[in-house]
Amino acid sequence: MVSSSERRVLRVNADDVRRASDALHFTWDADVVDDVSAAVNRVLDGYRQLEEWSATDGSEPVASRSFSRPRPGENPLGAWKVKASIRESEGALSGVRVVVKDSIAVAGLPFTGGSSLLADHFASRDAEVVRRVLAAGGEVVGTGVCEDLCFSGSSFTSADGVVRNPYNPDFVSGGSSSGSAVLVATNEADLGIGTDQGGSIRGPASWCGLVGLKPTFGLVPYTGALELERSVDHVGFLARDAETVDRALVATAGVDQDDPRTRSFDLDRALAEVTGWSGRRIGIIGNAFGWDVSNGETDELVRDGAERFSHLGMTVIGIDIDDFRAGVAIFSPILGEGTTSLVLASCAGATNWPGWLDRSTSDALSAAMRTRPNELPLTLKINVLAGVIALRAQGVHGYALAREGVKRLRAGIDRALGQVDFLLQPTMPYPAPRIPGDDLSLARYSEEALGMSRNNCVFNLTGHPAINIPCAMTSDGFPVGLTVVAPHGYDRVLTRLARDYAEFFHVSAVPSSWRDQ
């Protein structure tokens, strides 16, 4: 945490008021500037008094926890951030080795979000999802590398270096929950906890051959994870099997008083409604295929994988969703202006929010941003720049249009789910690509980092639960995943469906050759 002595003193004079007023386009008569300064200082006195009060609030520092950096040869795919062994109790997750994305706080461990801006930062308390996993008996075995401030769906942007695909280390693993996915895929952990704003769990799950669940929005608390845009932030899980994902979901779901987004769903009741799959209908979203970046083999393998649901007695049909392809346009101002407000202006803090704020992380990011703002990742800088320009040109007009678009998009998804029980789409439009070289143009860099999220971002906007299920291997030996979507609160139905589907198809085990790289 940034100490009081490191913070700029909140006290102003007439010159400070003039400079701040100029930036805000305020004008004052010269003879009132001193009075304005005095009035501003009276307001700022409250900040000083609050600082003095908080120093006596009786809060206890978090006990330190042991961890180690991976030694040479222990991290051939670049997936580990740090290793640890944290166990606190016995329970439903006893025996489960858990790796936590570096954008989710584990008290006493480095907490950098894959960014050089937070390179020396440590978490002050456990994220709520971590606390619940530990209370259920899980063992946190370390943290996994993530992409720089989580703003990439690939795995080459982290300040910690490239995270390599376990099927071929010359290829990307997907992101931004890149390290967590790779460590689970290579059996160095059983469960990965990740975050997902536009596919950051489902994408690496697809390219690494895992089950990856983005739960219903608000089902699993986000408290203690780095935020990008509070209306699309999700915490979820990656595992080699659906049963482990389900156990983690049951252990962590539920209302958190520190996160106003959280809601209670009767997951067991929804699951009890499913006595079998016979007669159920699953709709293949036609307009989720054939994007300009889509790979023909991937589309074909997903369609073939969809037909396998008939082995469960389900009816597979085609369906189009109104406004589905507008999702990318809707997503742009929400993420661009949302991150402008939350990351740039508020340094992961933000006002108008009654939930818990991670003061130590906000302080650390704020201090770094004052002196090294250019270390923001390129992808985030472009989106923030667009957000600032849009806000200055038209206020929140574009953001408001996007919010109206979300309502239309959600209504379209719900109408489709009134016709079928589940929806299905390709998780990623193409298989894992090669790690790009250093000579990328700016436009190509952005496409390589973000171009795979066209389908996934839709369900971050609408909040529906979505699960990646491995369904095929490409001719080059890379896994392909399909995503199944269900109504809000039907998350355990999805994990049950993923489990039953696996009886008919298994992605081949990760080759051992990666260990020799």
Which residue matches tokens 């994870």?
Answer: 225
Q: Which amino acid makes up residue 491?
A: D
Retrieve residue 4's tokens.
């009081």
CA–CA dist 232, 380 (Å, integer): 16
| Active-site residue, 176 included | yes
DSSP letter string, 227-247: -S-TTT-EEEEEESSHHHHHH
CA–CA dist 329, 403 (Å, integer): 11
| Active-site residue, 381 included | no
Q: Which of 115, 154, 200, 453 is catalytic?
A: 200
Angle at the Cα of 350 (from 346 to 355), degrees rounded to 5? 150
Q: Residues near 258 by Cβ (< 8 Å), separated by ≥ 6?
A: 128, 221, 223, 355, 356
Q: Which of 101, 155, 158, 453 is catalytic?
A: 101
Tally the C-alpha atoms within 13 A of residue 489's C-alpha that lie toward its C-beta.
13
| Active-site residue, 332 included | no
* C-alpha distances out from residue 225 to 171, 270, 278, 461, Å: 28, 28, 40, 19
Q: Which amino acid makes up residue 331?
A: F
Angle at the Cα of 274 (from 94 to 269), degrees rounded to 5? 65
Angle between helical axes of 14-24 and 33-54 (0-180°, round to 10):
100
DSSP letter string, 39-100: HHHHHHHHHHHHHHHHTTS-PPPPPP---BPPPTTS-TTS-EEEEEEE----STTTT-EEEE
DSSP letter string, 422-465: EEEEESSSSPPPBPP-TT--HHHHHHHHHTT-TTHHHHHHH---
Q: Which of 176, 178, 180, 453 is catalytic?
A: 176
DSSP letter string, 374-441: GGS-HHHHHHHHHHHHHHHHHTTHHHHHHHHHHHHHHHHHHHHHHH-SEEEEESSSSPPPBPP-TT--
Active site residues: 101, 176, 200
